[in-house]
Amino acid sequence: MNSSRDAAGSNLSALKCDLAGEVLRCSGSLRLGVTGWSMLPTIWPGDSLLIERAGWKDVRMGDVVLFGRDHRFFVHRVIAKSASAGVILTQGDGMPRPDLVVKGSELLGRVSFILRGRRRFEPRRSLHFYERIIAGLVCRFYWTARILVELHVIGQQERVVPCQN
C-alpha cells in the first residue's frame, strides 16, 4: 500500500518539476520554495528563490544554479566549469562532495535572488569565514544541520507578529 502512495508521490513530484522547468524555459524566470538543506548556510528551508533562465555560457564560478536530473531539482554552487566539455561541476555548500557533472541540457537557470521573510538579497559567489565553518559542520554532522534548521524555524516564528482585534 505504501509503495503505490510512494509511486504516486514520485509521479506528482516529477510532474511538478517538469512543469516548473517548462515555465522557466518559456517565461525566463521562476520562483521556487526551498525544502532541503544542502545549501546551508546560504539557503535555508522556507526561503524562496528567484531563478532566471541561464545556459552554460551565462554561469560563472561561484554562481548558485538550478539544474534538473531524474525529475528532481537541485540548487547548488558552481565550483568548476569546463569549456572544452561544456559542463559544470556543482556542490551544495552543506554537502561533503561535489555532484555528478552537470551537462548543459540539465542546467535550467541561475539564482538571482533569495527571498527570506521580507528580505531580498543576491547570493554571494563565496562564503564568509564563519559560513565556511557552519558549512563544514553541516557536511560532517547531520545533527548540526538539524539543530540549525530547528533554530531557524523558531527564529522565523518569533518574527511573526499576531494580529489583534
Can you give the three-state secondary structure of 9-26, one letter per residue? Answer: HHHHHHHHHHHHHHHHHH
Q: Which residue has the cell 537557470?
A: 109
Per residue of the chain (165 residues), give pLDDT as tens.
556 666 666 777 778 788 888 888 899 999 999 999 999 999 999 999 999 999 999 999 999 999 999 888 999 999 999 988 889 999 999 999 999 999 999 999 999 999 998 899 999 999 999 999 999 999 998 888 889 888 887 877 765 555 555
Q: Which grid coordinates belong to 76?
A: 547548488
Give residue 15's pLDDT: 81
- Whether the upstream peptide bond of residue 41 has omega within 30° of 0, thus cis, is yes
Angle between helices 129-140 and 142-159 (to 10 degrees): 120
The count of C-alpha atoms lying within 13 angstroms of the C-alpha of 22, restricted to the half-sphere facing its C-beta, is 7
What pTM does this model have? 0.85
Give residue 5's pLDDT: 63
Q: Which residues pair with 77 in a beta bridge?
A: 64, 91
Helix or strand run (H / E) with residue 133:
helix 129-140
Task: Decide if 123 contacts 43 (C-beta within 8 A).
Answer: yes
Q: What is the CA radius of gyration of the chain?
A: 17
Q: Which grid coordinates belong to 136?
A: 563544514
Name the maximum alpha-carbon separation found in the chain. Answer: 64
Give residue 103's pLDDT: 94
- Separation of alpha carbons 162 and 51, rounded Å: 31
Which residues, 6 or more positions from 4, have their beta carbon under 8 angstroms from its beta carbon? none
Burial of 131 per CB tally in 10 Å (0-12, 13-18, 19+):
middle
